[in-house]
Amino acid sequence: MPASETDRLELIERHEPDSRKDRLELIREIVAMANAGGGEIHLGVSDDGQRPGLATEVVNRLDPADVQSFADEFVKPDHVHIERRVENGEAGDVVVIIVSSTGDHPLVFTKPGDYEDEEGRSRQVFAKHAVYRRRGTKAEPARRDDYRAWIDRAVAKERHDWMSRVAVLSKLPPGASLEIVTDTDEAMAEPAILLRTHTRLFNRNPEKLLTKHDLALLFLARDELEPRDDESRLLLHSAFRRRPTLYFWLDILDPSPATIAEIIDETISGSDRDKSDAARSVVECAALYLEPDEFDEVVTRLGESEYAHFREHAAEATSPTSVITRLVEARDNNLDDAPLREWSEHDLTSRAEEEAQQMLSSTGYDSASRRLARIGTELFLRHRLRDP
């Protein structure tokens, strides 16, 4: 019997990856479903439940990491969590996007979903600060009762957590001591506390990684930090996925090839979906730290991955030498009006700190993060490669 739409199931017959309108509408449906408790979106299925499927090219471009990365552009600092499976259709494959619940709070769009129609007129799929929730078979703006329900759940959770903490205190043995860690913005802005707190979360759940903003803040405070082994692993795992400070941490922490091999393995095999930057990091670190046969094994695994960007980077990685050559050739690219290799180390370090500060501001984030990544790579090559 053909499926029909419900509050937990959205059917979309056609999707064009090059259409910004289609991509924005998909993000709206994902966010609305996440705010309503999760569900599934079937792409390649008509409203009457028929399953014509999608062209192979479209299926390949519906990589879950890419979709999630695009969604995260509109709902920062929260994240949309999705998975994907592919099923057989009548003439092509059906892509099933599995949307996780947001839990106790809704996702809010932090910028508008604008596009131009065929006549060049500006259109909008959703507005800045809008909150959507799936109701019945449609994604609709949230209502007053939705906000009331979110508030009630948040209050109930806080009450439960508070009672749990009281219960723990009542069971402490005589002579036990406590360390109080606050989660206020002021305390979390202290770099050492931020790193320690996030490491505890990471040790319990490897998907709890630092954000690019966290990494930029910790980079600026790098001289004050003395990371433990588990804190170093968190820094490296996070930087593998958020690249602007990656090569700084590789240089500062000086991980062993065995450590890099473990992080590469966990990055490839991990169940988390936050991997939009990871493929390039994996290939480059495999070339720099691993033996040629280990590099080949890593590339083979990437080539067999379900993630399209993993497969794309694997196809380009012909050998460790070719990867390192690309890194070295990038030293001839200009920063301002001079090639990177002509900058003094002092000037590069000062400029890196300026870019990290810019990343922490409200403007120029993307361009600052790209420049910071280029500077970090240049300094790493100077320190770690012979005559690069």
Name the residue ranges covered by the structural domains of the chain.
9-145, 185-384
Partnered with residue 98 across adjacent β-strands are 40, 83
Residues near 223 by beta carbon (within 8 Å), at least 6 away in sequence: none
In this structure, are residues 108 and 315 in contact, taking their beta carbons and an 8 Å threshold?
no
Of 245, 210, 186, 222, the residue nearest 369 (C-alpha) = 245
State the Cα–Cα distance between residues 279 and 305, nearest whole angstrom.
Answer: 10
Residue with tokens 């609709």: 140
Average pLDDT per consecutive 10 residues, the chain (388 residues; last block may be shorter): 81 93 95 92 92 92 85 78 89 92 82 92 92 92 84 70 61 58 48 88 88 88 90 94 93 94 90 70 94 95 86 89 93 89 92 87 71 93 70
Residue 209 burial (10 A CB sphere; 0-12, 13-18, 19+)? buried
State the Cα–Cα distance between residues 229 and 255, nearest whole angstrom.
Answer: 10
pLDDT confidence of residue 271: 65
pLDDT confidence of residue 23: 95
Domain 9-145 has CATH 3.30.2010.10: no
